[in-house]
Amino acid sequence: MEAVVAAQQPVIKVAALCGSLRKASFNRGLIRSAMQLVKDSVKGMEIEYVDIAPLPMLNTDLEVNGTYPPVVEAFRQKILQADCYLFASPEYNYSVSGPLKNAIDWASRPPNVWADKAAAIVSAGGGFGGGRAQYHLRQIGVYLDLHFINKPEFFLNAFQPPAKFDSDGNLIDEQSKERLKAVLLALKAFTLRLQGKGYI
C-alpha cells in the first residue's frame, strides 16, 4: 500500500540558481549538497542546477519581434518548466549579486515565467550569512509573484569555526546539511500546497 502511495506522488522539479559564478563558491556548494540530499533522503524531488553565467547582460535591444537570444530563451524555458526554485544567494553590498539579478530580470521579461511558483533561499557568507541579500530577494519576489517559504530560514556563516566547507566549496558540516534538508522538505510541501495537492 505504501508503495502505491509513493508511486502516486509527483516528482517536484526544482530549478536551482546560484548568484556566484565562482566554481568553488560556498553558495554553489549549498546547491551541490541539496542535489545530493534529494538523491539520498528527500524523495519526490529533482534538482537541476541552472547555470546563469552564459546569459548576456539584460538589453532589450536583444529582443527582436518578441523573441530572445537562444541562450536566454533556453534559460527561460528551464525556469518555466520548473515547479519551484532554489536560490543560493551570496550577499554583495547588502544585496543580491549582479549575475543573479540579471538572470531574474531576463526571466521576468514578458511573459514573466517566475509567476505563481514556490521558492526557497539559502545563503552562505560572513557576518549575517547572506541574510540581507535574502531579504532583498524576497522584496524582488513580490513583484515577480514568487512565493517564498517563510521558514525555516537558512543563513550560514561560512567562516565561523568549525569549518563548514572544504577547499573545493563542498558543504561538510552535518548540522548544516540537516538544516538544508529541512528547507527542501518545506519547499516540497509548499510547492504541493500551491499546486493543490495535499500530500507531502
User: For position 1, what pLDDT does the model report?
Assistant: 45
The mean pLDDT value of the chain amounts to 93
pLDDT, mean of residues 108-120: 97
Beta-sheet pairing, 84-88 with 12-18:
parallel
Mean pLDDT along residues 143-147: 97
Domains of the chain, earliest start first = 2-194 (3.40.50.360)
Residue 183 CA to residue 149 CA, distance in Å, equals: 8
Q: Extract the C-alpha cell encoding 122.
A: 539559502
- Judge whether residue 71 has pLDDT over 50: yes
Q: SS in 3 state form for the chain?
A: CHHHHHHHCCCEEEEEEECCCCCCCHHHHHHHHHHHHHHHCCCCEEEEECCCCCCCCCCHHHCECCECCHHHHHHHHHHHHCCEEEEECCCECCECCHHHHHHHHHHHCCCCCCCCEEEEEEEEECCCCCHHHHHHHHHHHHHHCEEECCCCCEEEECCCCCCCECCCCCECCHHHHHHHHHHHHHHHHHHHHHCCCCCC
Average pLDDT over residues 148-153: 97
Average pLDDT over residues 127-146: 93
Cell of 52: 546563469
Whether the predicted pLDDT of 4 surpasses 60? no
- Residue-wise pLDDT for 162-177, tens only, equals 999 999 999 999 999 9
Report residue 23's pLDDT band, with 50, 70 and 90 as the boundaries.
confident
Q: What is the pTM of this model?
A: 0.92
What's the average model confidence in pLDDT over 2-12? 64
Please give the pLDDT value at position 198.
Answer: 60
